[in-house]
Structure 1
Amino acid sequence: MQHTIEVNGIKLYAFHGCLVEEEKIGGHYTVDVSIKTDFTASFASDELADTVDYVKINQVVREEMAIRSKLIEHVGYRISKRLQTEIKGLITSKVKVIKHCPPIGGDVNDVAIIIEN
């Protein structure tokens, strides 16, 4: 069976971007993570060890977002790869990285990338 765990709205301040200004002043980001897994063991046991720990997902996102990248595609890929290797029972994942108020010469709320594995 496949079930879904979501950790949405992880709010961060990070320094991603191609512009020198972005490296120096940073900006606001939000990350959403969705993981397909199997809850069957946790249904019976009611134990954290038998499911995916939300704290671990949040930790991976925060650690990878703290490492500067020029592209949010790059940081999203890093998050996705770490989740694949570090989350026991992960079947598939979806990572969405949202960059708020991007400096793209217009009135834009945000830009986002989505990586599904």
Structure 2
Amino acid sequence: MGVVKVNNIRVYAHHGCLAEESIIGSDYRVDVLVRANLSPASISDKLADTVDYVQINQIVVEEMKIASKLLEHVAKRILNRIFSEIEMATEAEVSVSKINPPIGGDVEMVTVQLNEKRL
């Protein structure tokens, strides 16, 4: 078993429950961890035998373009795509963070984290 992590994917998106959030948008950070059997890749040295982190980044960028009210909804969509498109993924964790959230306080970011295992 092994892990492929893609950390601090930075995107600008329009998520939130407030009307101005969907209009103005804000900065987000997304972190993804995918567990899979990486032993074949460690021997073959072939991209086809591993989890392609370029594909993970593309999934995140595409899903973050679709506006949602809740970060949970965005994270779940990303997880769904990982399991539908990366067959070797056995488990995944997605964290979606809103940078400088509009909550009336000095808060660096808020984060929602979802974990799933392939059934």
Contact 1:80–1:94 (CA under 8 A) maintained in structure 2: yes
2:35 aligned residue: 36
1:88 Cα deviation after fit: 2.2
2:103 aligned residue: 104
Question: How big is the alpha-carbon RMSD for the aligned residues of Structure 1 and Structure 2?
Answer: 0.6
- 2-side partners of 1:43 and 1:101: how far apart? 40
SS across alignment from 1:17: coil
SS across alignment from 2:89: coil
Q: Which runs of 5+ in 1 are unaligned?
A: none
1:10-36: CA deviation from partner (whole Å, max 9, x where unpaired): 000000001111111100000000010
Percent identity of equivalent pairs: 49
What is the identity, as a one-letter code, of the residue corresponding to 2:7? N
Calculate the TM-score normalised by the size of structure 1.
Answer: 0.97
2:15 aligned residue: 16
Aligned residue runs from structure 1 range 1-117, under 5 A: 2-117=1-116
- 1-side partners of 2:65 and 2:99: how far apart? 16
Q: Which runs of 5+ in 2 are unaligned?
A: none
1:45 Cα deviation after fit: 0.8
- 1-side partners of 2:28 and 2:46: how far apart? 32
Calculate the TM-score normalised by the size of structure 2.
Answer: 0.95
- 1-side partners of 2:86 and 2:76: how far apart? 15
Query: Runs of 4 or more off by more than 6 Å in structure 1?
Result: none
- 1-side partners of 2:12 and 2:19: how far apart? 16
Contact 1:52–1:88 (CA under 8 A) maintained in structure 2: no
